[in-house]
C-alpha cells in the first residue's frame, strides 16, 4: 500500500483549513485516511502558528515509507524533519527559441539600418568635398 502524507481540506467555503493526514494514495483527498498528524490554517498571519504537526508520528510514518506531498514537505522542511531539495531552473528566465530568433533578426535589421544611414550621410559629405576641390 502506497502511503502519502498530504493535506485534507476542511473548513467552509472561502475559509480553508487543512488537516495533515496519512492516507492511502488511492483514497480521495478529503476521504478516508489512516491517521491525522496535524493541521494547517492558511488564514492565520505568517508570524502566527499556522502549521501544527506531531513530529514523532510524522517520523514514524516516514520510516514506514510514507511519501509527503510537495506542500507537506515544505512544512516538514521548516520544522527540520525532512529535507526539501531546492528547485533550481537557471534557464527559466531565458527567452525561448523563437524569441531568440526574432531578437537576432531585429538586431540584424537594426545594424543594416544603421549602416544604410551611415552610408547615406557619408555620400553627401563626399560630394561636397569633390565640389569644393
Range 66-74, long-range pairs (CB < 8 A, 24+ positions) = 66/3, 66/4, 66/5, 66/22, 67/2, 67/3, 67/4, 67/5, 68/4, 68/5, 68/6, 69/4, 69/5, 69/6, 69/7, 71/7, 72/5, 72/6, 72/7, 72/20
Per-residue pLDDT band at 90 (split at 50, 70, 90):
confident
Does the pLDDT value for residue 133 go beyond 70? no
With H, G, I as helix, E, B as strand and everything else as coil, classify residue 87.
coil
pLDDT tens digits for range 17-69? 999 999 999 988 888 899 999 999 999 998 888 999 999 999 999 999 999 99
CA angle at residue 116 from 112 to 122, to 5 degrees? 145
Does the pLDDT value for residue 125 go beyond 80? no
Pairing of strands 35-40, 17-24: antiparallel
Does the pLDDT value for residue 128 go beyond 80? no
The pTM of the whole model exceeds 0.85: no
- Whose grid coordinates read 568635398? 129
| Residue 84, pLDDT score | 82
Percent of the chain with pLDDT over 90: 59
Amino acid at each position: 500500500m502506497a502511503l502519502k502524507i498530504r493535506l485534507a481540506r476542511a473548513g467552509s467555503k472561502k475559509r480553508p483549513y487543512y488537516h495533515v493526514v496519512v492516507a492511502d494514495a488511492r483514497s480521495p483527498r478529503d476521504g478516508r485516511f489512516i491517521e491525522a498528524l496535524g493541521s494547517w490554517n492558511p488564514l492565520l498571519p505568517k508570524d502566527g502558528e499556522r502549521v501544527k504537526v506531531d513530529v514523532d508520528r510524522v517520523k514514524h510514518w516516514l520510516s514506514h515509507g510514507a511519501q509527503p506531498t510537495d506542500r507537506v514537505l515544505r512544512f516538514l522542511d521548516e520544522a527540520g524533519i525532512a529535507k526539501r531539495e531546492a528547485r533550481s531552473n537557471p534557464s527559466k528566465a531565458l527567452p525561448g527559441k523563437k524569441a531568440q530568433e526574432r531578437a537576432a533578426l531585429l538586431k540584424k535589421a537594426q545594424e543594416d539600418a544603421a549602416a544604410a544611414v551611415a552610408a547615406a550621410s557619408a555620400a553627401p559629405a563626399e560630394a561636397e568635398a569633390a565640389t569644393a576641390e
